[in-house]
Chain A
């Protein structure tokens, strides 16, 4: 299975944020989408998730010869600012989410099982989401895609809000899950990308550019990436 971005364009107010993004992502890999602040990482994710309309271009998902347009339900999207209905408790939200996705979920797992997968404390489950910390909200959002297992998972700067212990847990979780999914992970933190991701894609000046795998291991990795990111700024 693969996700194909086909010449996606998006501009705001005459400013081209995404120009001709053209790329193929494959299942079983964690992609790091690296870009500077304001490079358009979130815009690209929002275009894919249907949150905003792309100006032109399209995204397809499926096997090479039987790809179809990407749909809302193919995507699990973890926002950098977690957005959850605050009048519910974490437990209620997850139960509601499981209810409406009943046909997509593993019947052998209970709501408690799911909470223990993300190591969510028992006593926190029945508190209003309103009082949750940033990291807890993010965990709940991650749980959504663990439950429904959509083929494409978009994570917008997720690990930045976790403490080291939780970040490690989540990293392990993502590695375990990657066989069945295409995981794209946006970040501006280079070490995080290098550490977790199998492939690195740079979003610079609205275009996507793959970093060769060898570069990831090379000692000059950092300098090379920085050079790439700065490159476009002088023109």
Chain B
């Protein structure tokens, strides 16, 4: 077993080291220090593997502290600081027991967990499944126990409980989790079902468990206290069951199938990156069955040529992708409008306060319009479905082509974004008129101009960002740090606007000047630089 453990650790060590080197090389300046041949430098890699191991151990301890601190301790002190320590401790125990003994036992299964490590060691490296599982289980059990002790003792100490509570609780938890592991394994053995892969089951338990865990925070008292938690019979039963479960797990004959069932090569759970990638791609993809053959004959686009033709087809084939978010935004605006009208009927006082807020709250709309814009989504779709392939062709990268395309897209995107903008204007105008607030023609014009300007601004903004920073890589995760920086600045400014003094006309003037300046600069920059920046990276 020790030698198996050692070989598993060696495999994990070198893949961990490789990963560390890989990410280190991605760092701006420091990354250049490592040459391409570093992967073959065994001695240096051992150093890296050592670093990874040390980091893992430190991380193991920290995670437990973070879990107990952020998930359990913090909510308690935030809501019930006034309670005596003993009652706070009872709350702590309650949440801990529900989350760690019940929820985690369902969502965080080890033996039947789909994991790359398992695939690599058993399927690729051919370590016998039983040996692999025995070795990793032993390691997992021990580290689980050791990592939990300091955190639990410290938090028990904070609540004034004796220190042995922490150790004892860790022991009980470890024993209990061995029992639940055995139950999962037994269930798989009898029914052939891997419970942890049944998402509806896992998420129901997480949902209900989360509710059950935090209900006492509202009620102010826990369902358990340390007397039940630490009573001798309960503890004994758990420990004895743990022992029986450990024997069952140790003697279990069929690990090969238990490993096989969770290491299917196409299992997306094995590869988080791939799962993310597929999710992102699905977000922007077209489906062939969305179109009839007449549509594909393309009679509708016959009058158009060149880039107008291309974009007309693009926007028509991606309707689902473009219309859906617009529809959603319109629905939200509609629902909010109805709610506001109802409020007006039911409680005129709150409603008049609300209208007063809306009337003076133009700065707030900067923030709202940012999220109303579908620019980012459209850019992503354009990149993945269109530009990613066409940018491989020289003609598509020529300046005139890029600008032609940019112009058409800007008009189309602005048009799409104007739909919810107009809806917002209409809804607010109606509300103001219905509320009988003092709202003249001048205010109306200011309101409409501001909102429509903002809508235009964010259309330009997103497209400009796309053409200048081209943030997407072939797998759709963003690559360009400047994209984040500029985006954060715009977001920060739009939040800062909320604090703007509530003088509508001045604000409108500032917004107007700002957006026009930004648009002019953005379009100039696109004209000047996009032929160099608009590339697949």
A joins B in a complex: yes
Interface of A toward B, CB cutoff 8 Å: 12-15, 49-51, 71-73, 75, 77, 79, 83-89, 91-92, 95-96, 99-101, 126-128, 130-131, 144
User: A72 near B397 (CB under 8 angstroms)?
Assistant: yes
User: B286 near A87 (CB under 8 angstroms)?
Assistant: yes
Residue from B288, B301, B314, B390 within 8 A of A128 (CB atoms): B288
* Also in contact, A99 and B305, with CB within 8 A (given A72-B394, A73-B395): yes
Which residue from chain B places its CB closest to the CB of A50 in the assembled complex?
B394
Q: Within 8 Å CB of B271, what residues of A? A: none
User: B291 near A100 (CB under 8 angstroms)?
Assistant: no
B368-394 with Cβ < 8 A to chain A: 385-386, 388-390, 392-394
How close is B11's CB to chain A, nearest CB, in angstroms? 25
* Also in contact, A128 and B395, with CB within 8 A (given A12-B36, A96-B309, A99-B309): no
User: A14 near B37 (CB under 8 angstroms)?
Assistant: yes
How close is B511's CB to chain A, nearest CB, in angstroms? 36
User: B392 near A87 (CB under 8 angstroms)?
Assistant: no
B289-343 with Cβ < 8 A to chain A: 291, 293, 296-298, 301, 305-307, 309-310, 313-314, 317-318
User: B389 near A100 (CB under 8 angstroms)?
Assistant: no
User: A13 near B36 (CB under 8 angstroms)?
Assistant: yes
Q: Does B267 contact A (CB under 8 A)?
A: no
Q: Within 8 Å CB of B386, what residues of A? A: 85, 87
User: How many Å lie between the Cα of A95 and that of B303 in the bound state?
Assistant: 12
* Also in contact, A96 and B389, with CB within 8 A (given A14-B37, A128-B291): no
User: B36 near A95 (CB under 8 angstroms)?
Assistant: no
A-B pair number, CB within 8 angstroms: 77
Which residue from chain B places its CB closest to the CB of A51 in the assembled complex?
B392
Q: Within 8 Å CB of A89, what residues of B? A: 296, 298
Interface residues on B, range: 20 to 34
Which residue from chain B places its CB closest to the CB of A73 in the assembled complex?
B394
Q: Within 8 Å CB of A87, what residues of B? A: 286, 313-314, 317-318, 385-386
User: How many Å lie between the Cα of A87 and that of B388 in the bound state?
Assistant: 12
CB-CB nearest 9 A-B residue pairs: A72-B394, A13-B36, A99-B306, A99-B305, A83-B389, A87-B317, A85-B389, A83-B392, A126-B296
User: How many Å lie between the Cα of A130 and that of B398 in the bound state?
Assistant: 25
How close is B386's CB to chain A, nearest CB, in angstroms? 5
Q: Within 8 Å CB of A100, what residues of B? A: 306-307, 395, 401
A87-B314, A96-B306 given; name 20 further pairs at CB < 8 Å. Answer: A49-B394, A50-B397, A51-B392, A72-B395, A77-B393, A79-B392, A83-B389, A85-B385, A87-B286, A88-B313, A89-B296, A89-B298, A91-B298, A96-B310, A99-B305, A99-B306, A100-B401, A127-B296, A131-B288, A144-B393
Question: Looking at A49, A50, A92, which has the most chain B CB atoms within 10 Å of its CB?
Answer: A92
User: How many Å lie between the Cα of A130 and that of B389 in the bound state?
Assistant: 12
Q: Within 8 Å CB of B307, what residues of A? A: 100
Q: Does B198 contact A (CB under 8 A)?
A: no
Q: Does B190 contact A (CB under 8 A)?
A: no
Which residue from chain B places its CB closest to the CB of A101 in the assembled complex?
B395
User: B385 near A86 (CB under 8 angstroms)?
Assistant: yes
How close is B286's CB to chain A, nearest CB, in angstroms? 5
How close is A19's CB to chain B, nearest CB, in angstroms? 15
User: B36 near A15 (CB under 8 angstroms)?
Assistant: yes
User: A72 near B398 (CB under 8 angstroms)?
Assistant: yes
Q: Does B35 contact A (CB under 8 A)?
A: yes
* Also in contact, A95 and B395, with CB within 8 A (given A87-B317, A127-B296, A130-B286): no
User: How many Å lie between the Cα of A12 and that of B36 in the bound state?
Assistant: 8
* Also in contact, A84 and B296, with CB within 8 A (given A73-B394, A99-B306): no
User: A14 near B309 (CB under 8 angstroms)?
Assistant: no
User: How many Å lie between the Cα of A72 and that of B531 in the bound state?
Assistant: 13
User: How many Å lie between the Cα of A126 and that of B386 in the bound state?
Assistant: 18
Residue from A15, A75, A84, A92 within 8 A of B298 (CB atoms): A92
B22-80 with Cβ < 8 A to chain A: 35-37
Q: Within 8 Å CB of A92, what residues of B? A: 298, 301, 309, 313
Pairs across A and B, CB under 8 Å, 5 listed: A14-B36, A15-B36, A77-B394, A85-B385, A96-B310
How close is B293's CB to chain A, nearest CB, in angstroms? 7
Q: Within 8 Å CB of A73, what residues of B? A: 394-395, 398
How close is B459's CB to chain A, nearest CB, in angstroms? 22
User: B286 near A95 (CB under 8 angstroms)?
Assistant: no
B392-424 near A? 1/0 per residue, CB < 8 Å: 111101100100000000000000000000000
User: How many Å lie between the Cα of A101 and that of B288 in the bound state?
Assistant: 28
Q: Within 8 Å CB of B313, what residues of A? A: 87-88, 92
User: How many Å lie between the Cα of A50 and that of B395 in the bound state?
Assistant: 11
How close is A48's CB to chain B, nearest CB, in angstroms? 11
User: How many Å lie between the Cα of A218 and that of B389 in the bound state?
Assistant: 43
Residue from A50, A86, A127 within 8 A of B286 (CB atoms): A86
How close is B84's CB to chain A, nearest CB, in angstroms? 63
Q: Within 8 Å CB of A127, what residues of B? A: 296
Which residue from chain B places its CB closest to the CB of A100 in the assembled complex?
B306
How close is B290's CB to chain A, nearest CB, in angstroms? 10
Q: Within 8 Å CB of B388, what residues of A? A: 83
Q: Within 8 Å CB of B310, what residues of A? A: 88, 96
Which residue from chain B places its CB closest to the CB of A129 in the assembled complex?
B389
Q: Within 8 Å CB of B393, what residues of A? A: 77, 144
User: How many Å lie between the Cα of A49 and that of B536 in the bound state?
Assistant: 14
User: B394 near A75 (CB under 8 angstroms)?
Assistant: yes
Q: Within 8 Å CB of A128, what residues of B? A: 286, 288, 291, 296
How close is B385's CB to chain A, nearest CB, in angstroms? 5
User: A84 near B389 (CB under 8 angstroms)?
Assistant: yes
How close is A118's CB to chain B, nearest CB, in angstroms? 18
User: How many Å lie between the Cα of A196 and that of B314 in the bound state?
Assistant: 39
Q: Within 8 Å CB of B36, what residues of A? A: 12-15
B421-436 near A? 1/0 per residue, CB < 8 Å: 0000000000000000
Q: Within 8 Å CB of B395, what residues of A? A: 72-73, 100-101
How close is B4's CB to chain A, nearest CB, in angstroms? 36
B243-263 near A? 1/0 per residue, CB < 8 Å: 000000000000000000000
